Structure 1
């Protein structure tokens, strides 16, 4: 797919990417990507998770070197890809999602770090403060430069990073998801700064999932999918639906829905989980019911609140309001332990850091929640524990020579099945799944889908979230789409499309309807 015609403004090109590829072992993160960013404009880069946006920006910022292709900045080809060279020679700066600031040092010290006036050993501190104040003033920020950065909110810290880029005379600034942690008011404040930079002739590359802000800010839009450049538009000529189609344009015929994994569910069943106006950090006023044997998929961008919602249901994150009922009884877990006692299971998205116990065996991981069943007279009965683990491993087809084997020696798919075996040991009423097939191969995915189907056939209710939209559409009965912390709509999965879900998640549908 080539998309609409690429921008061809007569303005000078600030950044010219030609045939860029980046390989990580067998994985090709970027594949023959070409695009141009005209000088003094804002070029937006969009795409789903894993599309290659971050890799491209890391290359342009000098944090990664390309495997093939060229990058030309202001007419000069980049020969050396490192952050210092990109900033000092090519005047390219990055404003990352995770702001790298020295929290204990002052605003002025952070802004002028590496560009201090005076001798390096004895910089002129008065001039550091003066120059920092001038740069902040250019951004419309009246802030005491002597104040510690750690006292500032996220939006103001972001302005400090932008000022630091200007202190190094950056003429190309890359913004990577800059509004992901900002409130609407803070975002508008940032947009005003960005408009001012464009008026000053600064070229910007802007990565975002959010359609309204892309249309609010950018002059051109490029879309990446699966590491390839698949579309480009002048923003004034673009339609939100065209951009969404380019983002999700892969075919669905090979997705798991063809295997019939979505279970049939009786809409008349009493709710297993009833959520009313639930609020917490990252989400607000969420209302949803899940029936026994039903799978509710939660779709949304990384900052939509979907992950925080799942953690709150499991008691891992604090709730600030609202109610939940489990099989008609009040359910208000203050910790994961409370949820486990109520037979609520949680398969985390970060398996290695939040799921497995990496120093323990498969058997110990599988039986981590039921050790008391294997204790007699205060002693752990290893033979009983191993026998139980072997039975669960056979049931879930965990491929291991022995359950005494270290769990880290298993493949990702078999580690995930071992974690699932752990949760099945508590006979769950509700299973909460976050990125349930992340990091597993196609064969293991098919086995996991079958296991999830067997759970629903037993009447287990499932609340699942995944950044893999085709997967979520395939395993769910209904899809709750979240954006900016709220559920935008709940739609039957059989009637949902990738384009429709993405349009709601990015705000494209709302924007188009209210335009």
Structure 2
């Protein structure tokens, strides 16, 4: 066995990121490593490559127990990592990138002829004939991938880790990459393929390791792991407390459409998305990691611009150039990562809650404190935010209470449409049920909600219907009457077949 990682555990500030995780890879094997956001894939790889140090566990590479102190040390030992954002120097030549920090020399001087010859030779083994004196920036994403792989080969790598290698490639370029991976296999080089597109995993990988919540939950050959089982292992089952919230109903066709997307696309991440959200309903948006859910929300909110398709608000076509335009039109967005894109940790609850409302709270450039206090007090009470006072720093609150403050930030702007991305990520089971009940009550009062969630139980509990995305395309629309765990997982597993 080339690599064995056993009992790997890691915590950050007392929060567990990995719990006795494991991974094994044989010589010449292509191993898929899959899991949703937060599953622990990145942490496991960073421990393997020396970016992080493990708290517990053992790592054996080529028969020897190892503990790499730095990424450079793991690279010297035969592990090469090709990240999603390819780590090449764009203005340097192809040859210089392939031999960077290992340039051939003669009598102490750089041997450019040997470097060009070596670079061209290794690229030809992957059927790539290019001018190695050209800057890397001149070439396509697929060619840059080949250059990065060629660098790994010249480093005599025994294991190549590819992190989302197809995310920026078109179909033809993916085919080229897969041929290159097969060439590596023939040489006995192992590949750890971190990806989310199921069809690609089944096309190129021999085995799969599935992670969830910091643990390794399943290992199998690809042929013995049906797509439905793979999806089920990735998503897991929990939140039985939501069963009591599950209700009859669904789309009321008599209600006006508040938001509609028709064939909306932007680049490779969002290709063709159509969906509708009616007044007073919760429309779910589901899909595996990389399906384009968050990117769709960013387009609606004006963070990113669409290339094609139509967005309508209350029947009127809209194209927002920036989020301020969407806010002015009655749209709010609670982002997926509240710590990065949501809260401002050192500011108070009061300041965080009224951030989006500040332009309306100012008179002659000065914030109307009385009105601000009235709004903050009202929403702390209405949403049940547990705090010492409105002036308490938001970073001192629990995850569930921070999420309530972010909800209040948009509710106090009196929105007509609220987009909420992963509403219960990182909060405990009791707070999850509370947040979902709150969203359901808001929808019953007329608010339109587009809810993005990886938790199927959440969607089953409160959504009036669910649109399933895969690879930037809407591939299924499930009304309330057709919603079930099996129906959702089946749509995700079959993707765009």
Instruction: Mark yes or no: TM-score above 0.5.
Output: yes
Q: Which residue of 1 aligns with 2:263?
A: 277
1:489 shift after superposition: 0.4
Partners of 1:252 and 1:392 lie apart in 2 by: 27
Partners of 1:365 and 1:327 lie apart in 2 by: 29
Unaligned stretches of 5+ in structure 2?
Answer: none
Partners of 1:454 and 1:86 lie apart in 2 by: 53
Q: Is the 8 A contact 1:21 1:29 kept in 2?
A: yes
Q: Which residue of 2 aligns with 1:17?
A: 5
Q: Is the 8 A contact 2:91 2:137 kept in 1?
A: yes
Q: Which residue of 2 aligns with 1:247?
A: 234
Q: Which residue of 1 aligns with 2:79?
A: 92
1:194 maps to which of 178, 181, 184: 181
- 1:425 equivalenced with 2:420 (yes/no): no
- 1:448 equivalenced with 2:425 (yes/no): no
* Equivalent residue runs for 1:170-319 within 5 Å: 170-254=157-241, 256-260=242-246, 265-281=251-267, 282-319=269-306
Q: Is the 8 A contact 1:261 1:449 kept in 2?
A: no
1:469 shift after superposition: 3.7
- 1:115 equivalenced with 2:102 (yes/no): yes
1:317 shift after superposition: 1.5
Partners of 2:450 and 2:76 lie apart in 1 by: 49
Instruction: Look up the SS of the partner of 2:105 in the other structure.
Output: coil
Aligned residues: 496
Unaligned stretches of 5+ in structure 1?
Answer: 1-12
Deviations 1:307-327 (A, max 9, x none): 121111122221222223322
Q: Which moved more, 1:383-392 or 1:310-319?
A: 383-392
1:498 shift after superposition: 4.7
Change (3 A) 1:497 1:185: farther
Q: Is the 8 A contact 1:483 1:504 kept in 2?
A: no
1:170 shift after superposition: 0.4
Q: Which residue of 2 aligns with 1:9?
A: none
Change (3 A) 1:504 1:37: same
Q: Which residue of 1 aligns with 2:17?
A: 29
Change (3 A) 1:434 1:241: closer
Partners of 2:457 and 2:475 lie apart in 1 by: 19
1:488 shift after superposition: 0.6
Partners of 2:150 and 2:490 lie apart in 1 by: 34
Partners of 2:469 and 2:219 lie apart in 1 by: 27
Instruction: Look up the SS of the partner of 1:319 in the other structure.
Output: coil
Q: Which residue of 2 aligns with 1:6?
A: none
1:348 shift after superposition: 1.7
Change (3 A) 1:419 1:240: closer
Q: Is the 8 A contact 2:464 2:480 kept in 1?
A: yes
1:28 shift after superposition: 3.6
Q: Is the 8 A contact 1:396 1:417 kept in 2?
A: yes
Q: Which moved more, 1:428-437 or 1:353-362?
A: 353-362
Q: Which moved more, 1:160-169 or 1:258-267?
A: 258-267
Deviations 1:403-431 (A, max 9, x none): 23443443333332222222112221111
TM-score if structure 2 supplies the norm length? Answer: 0.90
Q: Is the 8 A contact 1:43 1:206 kept in 2?
A: yes
Change (3 A) 1:166 1:439: same
Change (3 A) 1:378 1:164: closer
Q: Which residue of 1 aligns with 2:381?
A: 394
